[in-house]
Amino acid sequence: QVQFVESGGGLVQPGGSLRLSCAASGFTLDYYNIGWFRQAPGKEREGVSCVTSSDGTTYYAGSVKGRFTISRDNAKSTVYLQMNNLKPEDTAVYYCASENSGSSCSLRRDRYLEVWGQGTLVTVSS
């Protein structure tokens, strides 16, 4: 079955960097768009970034554009999220999920298969 395992989170000071990994199994990553989502305490899960299966086109939420970079390695069935210049408001549990392939990808949660990993916690604090 479809599974995601997120890793790479931790405690980092404002301005610091982290690289998150999303290891996928149970399906062929090549055929799906992949999105990163995050959920802060007391808030709804929101889309952060996504990458298409077709040509690797990327999309970002306005709050992270210019600071985060999504990439995928289909051979390793892994998608990454490089996060730079982290801010306290980036504190959240980060998840990845899959969307049916298309020429573009969405940051809307309802476009994604409701299969979630355990997430990885990112805490940005001094």
List the chain pLDDT tens, one digit each, 126 residues.
889 999 999 999 999 999 999 999 998 888 999 999 999 999 999 999 999 998 999 999 999 999 999 999 999 999 999 999 999 999 999 999 999 988 899 999 999 999 999 999 999 999
Which tokens in the block code for residue 121? Answer: 């916690």
- 60 Cβ partners below 8 Å, 6+ apart? 48, 49, 66, 68, 70
Q: What is the pLDDT of residue 8?
A: 98
Q: What is the DSSP letter of 112?
A: B
CA distance 27 to 20: 20
- SS3 (DSSP) at 111: helix
Q: What is the pLDDT of residue 103?
A: 83
Q: What is the pLDDT of residue 101?
A: 87
